[in-house]
Amino acid sequence: MNIISYNVRGLRGGVKRAAIRRLVRRHKADMLCIQETKREQIDKAMCQALWDDLDVGWEFMPAINTAGGLFEKGKGFILLEGVWTLENQKTYVVNIYSPCDSQNKRELWESLKQLRQQHHEGLWCFLDDFNNVRHHFEREGVSYRGGQVNNINDFNEWIADIECEEIPSARASQT
């Protein structure tokens, strides 16, 4: 299964939509998950333009003002549950856009951890913009204060708690 997860930082221009469509074609994507659409609404015409197909289904969480917004073929995430027929496995795909402030970030992590514990059987795939890094070197030119170091440590601990592995991305190096 090929899944594309992409933080578009705004989905307004036709050039960006065309680039996404090319990306979907090139990688023969089975699913497209987009973070930070910065849109209050996405309609069928836009989905068809992104996917380059008339037969398309989608879920969407609107942006608040110009922040966030999730789209993919609660609170900060969209959870899709189904059966991966090739493997005959229950599968959960979670598209996440995390808040930037530490308290709300931790609340989101806890919600996701509880979901993972409630549905421990099956395959899980977290597609994300966690607005967090796992290592200091992932943010060049940034000085770290105590709270930011705690965020890194807490984030890595959360990843270990939910028994998640970070798989290499095709392009980006951000977590």
- Three-class secondary structure of residue 133 per DSSP: coil
- The binding site for Mg(2+) consists of 7, 36
Do residues 37 and 10 make contact, with C-beta atoms less than 8 angstroms apart?
yes
pLDDT in the model for residue 147: 54
Span of 89-93, 118-122, 134-138 with lowest mean pLDDT = 134-138
Q: Does the pLDDT at position 160 exceed 60?
A: yes
Nearest residue to 20 (alpha-carbon basis) of 9, 31, 10, 6: 6
Using CB atoms within 10 Å of the CB of residue 112, give its burial: 0 to 12 exposed, 13 to 18 middle, 19+ buried: buried
pLDDT in the model for residue 112: 92
Mean pLDDT for 106-125 is: 90
Nearest residue to 69 (alpha-carbon basis) of 133, 11, 117: 11
Q: Does the pLDDT at position 67 exceed 60?
A: no
Greater confidence, 56 or 21? 21
Other beta carbons within 10 Å of 158: 19
- The binding site consists of 7, 36
Q: Are strands 89-97 and 123-129 parallel, antiparallel or unpaired?
A: parallel
pLDDT in the model for residue 172: 53
Q: Does the pLDDT at position 140 exceed 90?
A: no
